[in-house]
Amino acid sequence: LKVLAQYNPIKDAGWEKGNPLPYMVLAKTFEKIESTSSRLTIIEHLTNLFRSIMILGTTQDLITTIYLSINKIGPSYLGKELGIGDKILISAISESTGRSLQFVKQELKKVGDLGIIAQNSRMTQKVMFQPPPLTMASVLAKFKQIADLSGNASQKKKSELIKSLLVACKDCETLYIIRSLQGKLRIGLAERSVLLALSKAVLCTPYFNKSEFPPKVMDIRKTMRLEEFEEKLLDAVAKVTRAYSQLPNYDLMVPMLVKENGLSTILHDCSLEVGVPVKPMLAQPTTGISQMLDRFTDMEFTCEFKYDGERAQIHCLENGNVTIYTRNLEDYTGKYPDIIQNVKKFIGPTVKSFILDCEAVGYDPATNKILSFQVFSSRPKKNVTMDKIKIPACVFAFDLLYLNGKSLIDEPLVKRREVLYENFIESPGVFSFAKHSNISDVNDIQAYLEEAVEGNCEGLMVKTLKEKSIYEPSRRSYNWLKIKKDYLQGMTDSLDLVPIGAWYGKGKRTGTYGAYLLACYDEDNDEFQTCCKIGTGFSDEQLSMFTETLKPHVINQPRNMFRVNDQIKPDVWFSPTAVWEVLAADLSISPIHTAASGAVDPNKGIALRFPRFIRIREDKNPEDATSSEQVVDMYKNQKINNTANQSNKDED
């Protein structure tokens, strides 16, 4: 609160109450955020911005500011994104600043950041008249217009819109407008930080003196103890995060949150809506059946087959409109015309609207068998027509989240399953309920696991059935445990990691990157922490492909949000964009890698030994990568003894 009281972005940007909110308010805040690597200070600046807008601006101002802060133009699941290529930006910068194309290109080679080049060029240019200042609303509206334009003929229009933004920029605005247009804001604001700052702003707002402009913070110590405030903050963050995972749409959520007593009713107000994807519940890994039994003592549980396909959240509106979302909330409706066509075959007469949680799996009608993920993943992804489908998808439903206007997520699994079975109809090769058995004897579970593996499944999902069995959106819950066949063979689970750097290849690999630096994601600190250098498991085609796809994401220096030991010096750094699944022989304590540093050894992190690339995880965002908390769990869970012989070695 001290920080909040000291710096006011609104005052700094010279905003007069009653006028539209200037973009400068956000640009100044970005500048402050960029100048620090302390996450706490970053959160304070963001909180400061949000609460100022809450007190002085409109709810729409706040929503617009949130989208611009996370470099989005609307809810992620709508799939509209900025990501304007350098070519069009270079020509817009050149035309709006009077610099030659050649000059901008040369500078790009030297400086590496078009935002900085545009800002420097802007400052040298004399303007005849200054267009009106950019407002938050006008910037978002233009960003939306630009993202909506498609096709070759649209390039000119895009360029005009970009130029109209650039000529109106002042000061540091140019830098952030360019970076936002590129889709690389590079200030390290994850959605998690935004939700935390939003919760804090909502909680603090009553403690500001609104009669002053800009409002000053009142001394909350007169009203409550610090511990009490912290407790309230934890509760607020939990509520806001859950509300957002139920309804990941700021346009819908923010008005409910900022209204009077919004925090106390937010979970009820932000209930599920058909057509808005829910952040899926996730499972915890276990090393085997005995560990699972230890966790579930005295609790009823159920074992389900763990199908190996692609998560599919199927939404059906009362008007029959169907949409299908991936684990990542991406709209994959266009990938599954066969599922869309089959919906009427599997809904009962009572069903009007629903949200089903399922796994879409490849199915061979000739043998009536499930196909492997590798075969299924060869299906085309976009704008698929029925004649292009060679591998039909069969839906295996394991949860029902919503039916006929009512959310079911607070019901126990046993109830949700009952409603699922009552209202939906199995149809061979098209729709099945996930096979399950409520067994509890170790031998029976072992036999069931083997049956699942024989049936081309990955293993079992074991879930609490009655007690503690509500559906927890976005949570990696201990009430869902996964037992994969690989765990039983003594292997660790695979990890999903983010390439943040690379070394140029030598010999056969000359011309491509030959090895990559991979990182896990630390949710608490919003950091990417390194855990291995990897050069194994890639085919030659993959090496060439990754070199091409990652080149546009090369950055000059590691981001603030990368935690890297000085001894690791890759030839290039990347913005975090891709997620790769990787297997390792085991995990060991590392003096040079920073993953979960301090968690198992006070000064060392955890690294993967003998990492091997498995596949790309297109259904994951960098923030969905394996977390450092999971890395610690995996390290502790591994069957082999991790002490003496490997503790000080790092294979890198």
Q: Which among 109-117, 304-312, 527-535, 553-561 is the span making contact with ligand ATP, rule CB under 6 A?
A: 304-312
- All residues at 6 or more sequence positions from 553 whose CB lies less than 8 Å from its CB, including other chains: 184, 574, 575, 577
Angle between helical axes of 191-204 and 59-69 (0-180°, round to 10): 150
Residue 616 touches ligand ATP, criterion: CB under 6 A? no
Which residue's CB is nearer to ligand ATP, number 249 or number 286?
286
CB neighbours (10 Å) of residue 490?
12
Q: Is 330 in the site for ligand ATP (CB under 6 A)?
A: no
| 434 near ligand ATP (CB under 6 A) | yes
Task: Find the DSSP H helices in 98-168.
Answer: 101-111, 114-124, 136-148, 154-168
- Least distance in angstroms from the C-beta of 459 to ligand ATP: 9
Residue nearer to ligand ATP on the CB measure, 48 or 626: 626
Would you say 241 or 626 has its CB closer to ligand ATP? Answer: 626
How many of the other CB atoms lie within 10 Å of CB of 333? 17
Does 72 bind ligand ATP (CB under 6 A)? Our answer is no
Q: How far is the CB of 77 from ligand ATP (least distance, A)?
A: 16
Q: How far is the CB of 317 from ligand ATP (least distance, A)?
A: 23
Cβ count near 12 (within 10 Å) = 15
Interface with ligand ATP (CB under 6 A), residue from 176, 207, 244, 307: 307
**CB 456 → ligand ATP: shortest distance, Å?**
12
Cα–Cα distance, 49 to 44 (Å, whole number) = 9
Q: What is the DSSP letter of 591?
A: S
Question: Alpha-carbon distance 580 to 561, whole Å?
Answer: 19
Question: Would you count residue 304 as binding ligand ATP (CB under 6 A)?
Answer: yes
Comparing CB distances to ligand ATP, the nearer of 307 and 580 is 307
Residues 470-499 that bind ligand ATP (CB under 6 A): 482
Name the token pair of 641: 């003894």
327 makes contact with ligand ATP (CB under 6 A): yes
**Both tokens of residue 406?**
């009512």
Q: Phi/psi of residue 358, each to 5°?
A: -140, 170
Active site residue 306: yes
Q: In whole angstroms, how close is the CB of 480 to ligand ATP at the nearest point?
A: 7
Under the criterion CB under 6 A, does residue 336 sit at the interface with ligand ATP?
no
In the complex, the smallest distance separating the C-beta of residue 461 from ligand ATP, rounded to whole angstroms, is: 4
Length of the chain: 652
In contact, 457 and 330? CB cutoff 8 Å: no
Site string for ligand ATP, 158-197 (x = CB under 6 A): ----------------------------------------
Residue 417's nearest CA partner among 463, 458, 451, 453 is 463
359: contact with ligand ATP by CB under 6 A: yes
Closest CA to 45 of 60, 35, 54, 55: 35
Residue 116 backbone class (left: φ over 0; alpha: ψ -120 to 50; beta: rest): alpha
* 3-state SS class at 172: coil
* Residue in the structure block whose two tokens are 């790009």: 108
Site string for ligand ATP, 373-412 (x = CB under 6 A): -------------------------x--------------
Round to whole Å and give the CA distance between 324 and 619: 13
Task: Please select the residue that binds ligand ATP; options are 169, 461, 531, 599, rule is CB under 6 A.
Answer: 461
Q: Is residue 579 a contact residue for ligand ATP (CB under 6 A)? A: no
- Minimum CB–partner distance for residue 473 and ligand ATP (Å): 13
Q: Which tokens hold the place of 431?
A: 């729709």
Q: Which of 32, 239, 306, 335 is catalytic?
A: 306
CA distance 455 to 471: 27
Question: With binding defined as CB under 6 A, does residue 282 bind ligand ATP?
Answer: yes
CB of 43 to ligand ATP, least distance (A): 26
Footprint of ligand ATP on this chain (CB under 6 A)? 282-283, 304, 306-307, 311, 327, 359, 398, 434, 461, 482
**Which active-site residues does the annotation give?**
306
